[in-house]
Amino acid sequence: MQAPATTHTAYDPAGHLSRYSLLDALRGRRSRRFGVGMKIPDGPFTYTSTEMVQPLSEEEEAALAFAACGITGSALADLSYGQGQGGAMLSGLVGRTVASPDAINTVSLVVTNDQATYLMKRPQDFARGEIAELIHLAQKGDLLQLYERSRDQIANGRTVAPVEPGYNFNINKWSLYAPGGSYFLPINEMTAVYINALLEAFDPEMGYFIRDERANFQPAGIGRFARSKGGHLYDADPGRTATVGAIEMSLIEAAAIEQGMMLQNLGLMGQALGLGGFPNFARHEFSWFRALGFRMEEMTASHYLGASGLVSGVLGLLGRDPQIPYPVSLERDGLTLLSAYCPPNYKTMTEAVHAFIEYKFGPQGVFRGGATVGGWQDAAGTTARISTPSQAAIDATMAYCEYVYRQYGRFPAYSAPFRTCIGYQATHVDGAFYDRFYHPDALSDTQRNHQALWHNGVNGS
């Protein structure tokens, strides 16, 4: 099938990107999996690319990284901060290109290509004095410098997780980690959002009561805080009673949505750039984290899955209870780049809870000295009227967290502290493949004009 004629455009990649409309990006966004240098070995689309592998340029990768997690400005934090109104549940004052539960920025981003693997810093990972300059770079459109300032190299060359069954699905085997492609992996940290939610849920105004469904629905370490025992938690109100599993699943869903927004932004930016790309399954308990060099803890599979002592004992005797690794932190060159609020990063869960409260309400916390990075005109006056969590909420949170860790050997109970879900691979499109098998509208003008717009008409190698 004859491809439509290519429209020749003056070489102005940044200008083209700034003029490309959101509506066009929404209409044109597709998963386009076949890139230059790739091969489909058999089936109706058997094809071997005749184009040379062409890595993404730093400018292209920078634009994609910005779409996924770029710092954009100060969060408005326009909430009610009165007693019992919940405003202090907010946990950050810096805005990114994607929303986050409680502005806590649970999600980090790993970018890996043939040359290097990078971890993109979250707002809370920067020194406070850097934020204003990063916002300035974003506002003036200097995405390349913003990219360079926002990343830590964590490995030389490409980092990949296994693709064989048990780690991924066969649908992805032929295409994942293609030479020349750039791979984007969101990673959620689950403990901060968990502790933050508990401090609000256990506030006397909400008074949630949590039971452990894997322990005959007994109180999850918070029995002494029940109203039936003279406490402040509503243990007899079905509207304010939850289970450990229900609480953790709701947090996992909220964090996964944050990853989903990243993937949508990557797809829209890829369309605006004229690249190919597609989201893909990246959910595994430990394979990505082990590949990336996270610090790992281990426990038996039966313990990991919450089996009873009897079941664990039988599996152990049969030699069918292997050790399962799970991630707790990421360190490089003596620096901690990512850390969960749980042991072994802290001696106890009580210490971890205190550390999180310090992060928000300590002298340099988000709602104290750290409020200078926000958008409020009178930061000092505003924060002076934002109160810390009640002691009742803090005590119940510490008791609950200690129970979960003691009962299940980790925190959270149902999940590792860090989670992956979906990834995104971006490549340069092989137009000849789509012209061979598809109608002309499979590629938009941005794909067909990409070399002229972004590489001055010159193919990479």
Are 426 and 182 contacting, i.e. CB atoms less than 8 angstroms apart? yes
The pLDDT score that the predictor gives to residue 1 is 45
| pLDDT band at 153; cut points 50, 70, 90 | very high
Q: Which two tokens stand for residue 293?
A: 């060099």
Ramachandran quadrant class, 19 (left: phi over 0; alpha: psi -120 to 50; beta: rest): alpha
pTM: 0.93
Q: Where are the domains positioned within the chain?
A: 55-427
Q: How far is C-alpha 190 from the geometric centre of its chain's CA atoms?
A: 10
Instruction: Give the number of other Cβ atoms within 10 Å of residue 435's Cβ.
Output: 17
Query: Crossing angle for the helix pair 191-201 and 349-361, nearest 10 degrees?
Result: 80
How far is the C-alpha of 174 from the C-alpha of 122, rounded, in Å? 32
**pLDDT tens digits, 175-186:** 999 999 999 999
CB-side neighbour CA atoms (13 Å) of 376:
20
CA–CA distance, 219 with 404 (Å, rounded to integer): 11
E strand map for 282-391: 295-300, 323-332, 335-339
Q: Compute the average pLDDT of residues 215-227.
A: 97
pLDDT digits (tens, 9 = 90+) for 225-278: 999 999 999 999 999 999 999 999 999 999 999 999 999 999 999 999 999 999
> Are the beta carbons of 258 and 264 closer than 8 angstroms?
no
Summarised one tens digit per residue, pLDDT across range 72-114 is: 999 898 988 888 888 889 899 999 999 998 899 999 999 999 9
Q: 412 in helix, strand or coil?
A: coil
Distances (CA, A) of 110 to 120, 155, 182, 290, 426: 6, 11, 10, 14, 13
Assess contact for 326 and 288: CB atoms under 8 A. Answer: no
Residues constituting the chain: 461
Residue 6 · residue 449 · CB < 8 Å: yes
